[in-house]
Structure formats: C-alpha cells, structure tokens
Amino acid sequence: MITLKHLAEQLNVSISTVSKALHDSEEISPDTIERVKALAKHLNYKPNKVAISLKNSKTNTIGVIIPNILNHFFAKALYAIEKEASKQGYNIITCLSNEKKDKEMNSLQLLSNGSVDGFIMSMAEESQIANNVDHIKDILHQNIPVVIFDRVSESIACDKVIIDDFGAAYEATKHLLSEGRKHIVLISNIDDLSVGKLRTNGYMEALSEAANYDNKPNVIIIKTNDAIEAPIEDLFKNHPTVDGIISIDNTSGVVALQKAIKLNYKIPQDLSIIGFSDENVLQFTDPKLSTISQHTLDIGKSSVQLLVDRLKSKDQVKPIIKTIKTKLILRETTK
C-alpha cells in the first residue's frame, strides 16, 4: 500500500507537503503540487481510509441491522439504504439479526467501538415480542445515533421511519366493504410484531364502523414457524362463504390466492384478495395480486437521510418520526 511517506521520500519533501499538495493547499507552490500529484497518480496512491477515520473520529460508515434478508421487504429496504448511503458517501456494514435478540445486541455492541458512525435497523422479532430494547438504548446513551424503521418500539426515543399500518389496513378493508363483501377475513403471520397488531386494528376498526356488515371479524393468526398452507386450507373448508381476504404479511396473500384458484373460486367475482407488500416476484401470479404498497424504497431512503442529517447536525434536535404513505394498488384480485 502506497502512503504519503513513500511519496515524500521519493520526492525529497516532507510528508505534510505531500498531504497539503494533494489537497491543493494555497501554501504549496504550483510546481510542487504538480510533481506530487503526478507521482501520486503514477503510483495509484489512495488515502488510507482507516488512518483518516482515526484522525477524524468518524468512519463514514453506517451499521445496518436487518432482521431477515430472505424477506423481500427487507431485501428491498437494504437495496434502498445501500443506494442512498452510497450516494451520500457512506459505506454500509450489514448485519443480519435473523430475528434473534442476541445477534442484534451483539452486532450493536461489536460495531459501537468506532466501526460505524450510526445505525439503521429494524427490530428483530424476538426483541419486539419481549419489548427488549435496553441494548438499543445503550447505544443511544453512547451518543451513537440510531434510526429504526418499520419495526419500532415506542419506548425508544430516536428517529424512526414507519408507515401508517393502521390506516393502510383500514383503507384496504374499506375497499372490500365498498365492493359489497360480506365475509372478510384477515390473515396474519406477523401477529407478534408491532406492525401486525396495528394492521389488525385497522381492519377491526373498519369493520366496526361498517353499518350493514353482519359477520364478526375473523382473524387467522399463523405462528412464525408454522406452515402457512394448512390454516388457509382450513379457512376455505370451514368458511367456504369467505368473499374477502386481507393478508397483512407478504406471503400469506399469495398462498391464499393459489389455494383459492385450486378450489375453483372465481377471482375476483367470488372472492377478493389484497396482499401487503411492494411488487415483487409474486407479481407473476395469475391473476395478479392487488396489494398495499409500502413504498419500501422511500422507507430505506428516508432512513439514510434521517441518519445523515443527525450525524451532520451538532445540536440535539428531538427525535423525528417520519411516516411514509402507503398506497392501495388494485390489480386483478379485486373488483
């Protein structure tokens, strides 16, 4: 690795002269600047990032903690985070908590030793179920900024990026009601998560406000590691009259669609289905699934922007909560 020292020795000048020359300092003669730059280019000199980080006490690196990269929502969020971070001159160190609180805690601890300037994260399922957030508060106490997106906790005072989960499910339910649906079921395999509960509440509220809706709310909860298919098959067996399904996670909707097709439901004539997710590989279903789009790219981008703003501002601004608009996208599984 070429260093300032190498350049200085070859040019018979001091290290600082080289440093200043490379920074186009006014103090250095044009001639020297030129000679230094020529040699630097010739030897493909690159300033050592580690040394600069040490000097400046900042790394221009963001720690990103993702609960589950195999979940398309998080893959897309990571995509957006990387893109915006890169644009702003930051690298990202990626950690995958795999929904484990211990791994999440470990990653925060390991990177809070000067490795990163701040964190962007979404909470692991385990942390969220137990509302176990002390490890995150620890980081904040060390004055390392944290931005949490999607899966947040009210007990942490930091910047957050969320969507209006309640409103999104409320709107989707309203839509099915407006289609004249009489038996609307909600399917969730994320009931343990904050966002899951909020979305369920939105569904409940919309139904309770509906004047001429006679059926009781029907929420089918699928536990995290259970098979998705069996409960959905049971649903169609026990309640063949179901005519509206809202899936509030990003897989059960597509499973419901597959099963309904297999059982010869006419979609959307007999049955409407609304999923929850950005467009993704599931778009290849036929008919195409109507979904609530979370605008995942905006979520990722906003998270980076909040963090970068926080890193740049010296004075303590109080926590900002940014809500990203969702959009009900009607494709072919709704009337």
Partner DNA sequence: TGCTAAGTGTTTTAGTGTTATCATAATCTT
Partner DNA sequence: AAGATTATGATAACACTAAAACACTTAGCA
**Contact between 13 and DNA (CB under 7 A)?**
yes
| 19 is an interface residue for DNA by CB under 7 A | yes
Instruction: Give CA–CA dist 88/82, Å, rounded.
Output: 10
> Cα(172)–Cα(165) distance, rounded to whole angstroms?
11
CB atoms under 10 Å from CB of 287, counted, come to 14
Question: Interface with DNA includes 52 (CB under 7 A)?
Answer: yes
Q: Does 248 bind its own copies (CB under 8 A)?
A: no
- 134 binding DNA? (CB under 7 A): no
Q: Among 10, 22, 83, 135, which residue sits at the site for DNA (rule: CB under 7 A)?
A: 22
The answer to whether 146 contacts its own copies (rule: CB under 8 A) is no
Quick check: helix, strand or coil at residue 20?
Answer: helix
- For CA atoms 30, 34, 35, 37, give the dihedral sign: positive
- Does 76 sit near its own copies (CB under 8 A)? yes
Tell me the window of 3-11, 125-133, 211-219, 245-253 that interacts with DNA (CB under 7 A). 3-11
Q: Which of 78, 162, 185, 274 binds its own copies (CB under 8 A)?
A: 78
**DSSP for 85-98, written as a single string:** HHHTT-EEEEEE-T
Asked if residues 202 and 219 have their Cβ atoms less than 8 Å apart, the reply is: no
Distance between CA atoms of residues 127 and 163, nearest Å: 20
Beta bridge partners of 118: 62
Helices (H), 88-164: 101-111, 125-129, 134-141
Cβ neighbourhood burial of 216 (10 Å; 0-12, 13-18, 19+) = exposed
Residue 54 lies near its own copies (rule: CB under 8 A): yes
60 touches DNA by CB under 7 A: no
Residue 89 within binding range of DNA, rule CB under 7 A: no
Q: By CB under 8 A, is residue 101 in contact with its own copies? A: no
Could you tell me the two tokens for 270?
């007999």
83 contributes a contact to its own copies by CB under 8 A: yes
Does 142 contact DNA by CB under 7 A? no
Give dist(CA 314, CA 34) in Å, integer.
37
> Is 159 or 278 the residue whose CB approaches its own copies more closely?
278
Q: Pick the closer one to DNA by CB: 45 or 236.
A: 45
List binders of its own copies among 171-230 (CB under 8 A): 228-229
Least distance between DNA and beta carbon 94 (Å): 24
Q: Output 30 or 241, the one with its CB closest to DNA.
A: 30
* Interface pick for DNA out of 41, 44, 57, 241 (rule CB under 7 A): 57
φ, ψ of residue 217 in degrees (nearest 5): -60, 145
Interaction partner, residue 93 (DNA, its own copies, none; CB < 5-8 Å by kind):
its own copies
List the single partner that 31 binds among its own copies, DNA, none, CB under 5 to 8 Å by kind.
Answer: DNA
Residue 320 is encoded by which pair of tokens?
A: 């900002």
- Contacts for 249 with CB less than 8 Å, ≥ 6 apart: 187, 188, 189, 190, 196, 276, 277
Q: Does the N-terminal peptide bond of residue 287 adopt cis geometry, omega within 30 degrees of 0?
A: yes
**Separation CA 74–CA 81 (nearest Å):** 10
Q: How far apart are CA 180 and CA 147, in angstroms?
A: 41
- The answer to whether 10 contacts DNA (rule: CB under 7 A) is no
Closest contact distance (angstroms) between CB of 170 and DNA is 50
Options 34-42, 44-52, 119-127, 178-186: segment touching its own copies (CB under 8 A): 44-52
What angle, rounded to 10 degrees, do the helices at 30-42 and 4-11 form?
120
Binding site for its own copies (CB under 8 A): 1, 44, 46-51, 53-54, 57, 59, 61, 64, 69-70, 72, 75-76, 78-79, 82-83, 86, 91-96, 98, 109-115, 142, 228-229, 251, 254-255, 258-259, 261-262, 280-282, 284-286
